[in-house]
Amino acid sequence: MPGHVLVPIDGSDHAFAGLEYCFRSLPDATITALYVVDPTRDDEATAGSTDTSLERTEAHGERVLDRATDRATDRDVDLRTSLRTGTPHTEILEVAATDVDHVVVGSHGQSPITRPFLGRVSEAVVRRSPVSTTIVPETTTELDERELPGEILVALDGSEQATAALEFAIEAYPTASFTAFHALSLPFDRPREDVEGTYLEALLDDRERRAERIFESARAVADDRGVTLETATGNDSPARAIVDRASNGSDQIVMGSHGRSLPARLITGSVAERVARRSPRTVTLVRGAPASD
């Protein structure tokens, strides 16, 4: 499970939602809140001010980190803070590559971009983070309305990354309930009775058999860890099926950062990116091989 979690914050509610998510879902982790002073921005400028742009921006960052510390104190959490200067996503990624093993980021910060799209900084972190990443699209109010970690949907496609995601979910969220989910990716939208006796029935049977093989492997992983695992399938393409399922009863999605098609370690797969951009629920993208390797 994550030992040291980095949470970039910029003063926005979505950034603080990432912090609240950590307090509730990863209470045993060491948490560092990071504010990056961007020299190209000056949101604190006022007429007649004698402070330099950098001084104003640094002061704003210190106030944001103080607010983060107050939130942590209210929850009896020991929070580390860090103030750095530079391009936000570059600084975040540099810290993530050192002594951090997980990053939690709001889906968008002070950017005017809203769901279902990621903000510019969040997008860069999701695509390039060297460690597992959680994207929190909810507001702090929305998080307060749900129990966390709650019910976790683990997306499986038979890849090593998917197995690693299942192992991560079970270890990181021991109080959660788990549903293993596989998208059948059917090229038609019809119930079984409408395709019986046609060539489409054979295709459906083949996809369902593959799903069952994937679930058998997932149950073995869960059984080894003493966890009950529910299973479910969706007929649609992977990204759409995962988001649709999670939107109806799940509290979080956990999946591999890339599946069977992309072996690269630092580039997020297309399905994972689509889910991260479109999901109304928190998404964790897991990097690395399963423990069995």
- 114 pLDDT higher than 60: no
Q: Is 57 helix (H, G, I), strand (E, B) or coil?
A: helix
- CB 214 within 8 Å of CB 182: yes
Determine how β-strand 132-136 pairs with β-strand 282-286. Answer: antiparallel
Q: What is the pLDDT of residues 35-68, one digit of tens each?
A: 999 887 655 555 455 667 788 889 999 999 999 9
Q: What is the pLDDT of residues 180-203, one digit of tens each?
A: 999 999 887 766 666 776 778 888
pTM > 0.75: yes or no = yes
Phi-psi region of 23 (alpha: psi -120 to 50; beta: other; left: phi over 0): alpha
**Mind listing the domains of the chain with CATH numbers?**
4-144 (3.40.50.620), 151-286 (3.40.50.620)
Q: Which strand ranges, in their side-by-side order, compose the sheet holding 4-8?
A: 79-85, 30-37, 4-8, 102-106, 132-136, 282-286, 252-256, 151-155, 177-183, 229-234
Confidence of residue 267 (pLDDT cuts 50, 70, 90): very low
Which residue, 55, 2, 56, 57, is CA-closest to 26?
2
Q: What is the pLDDT of residues 77-104, one digit of tens each?
A: 999 999 999 999 999 999 999 989 999 9
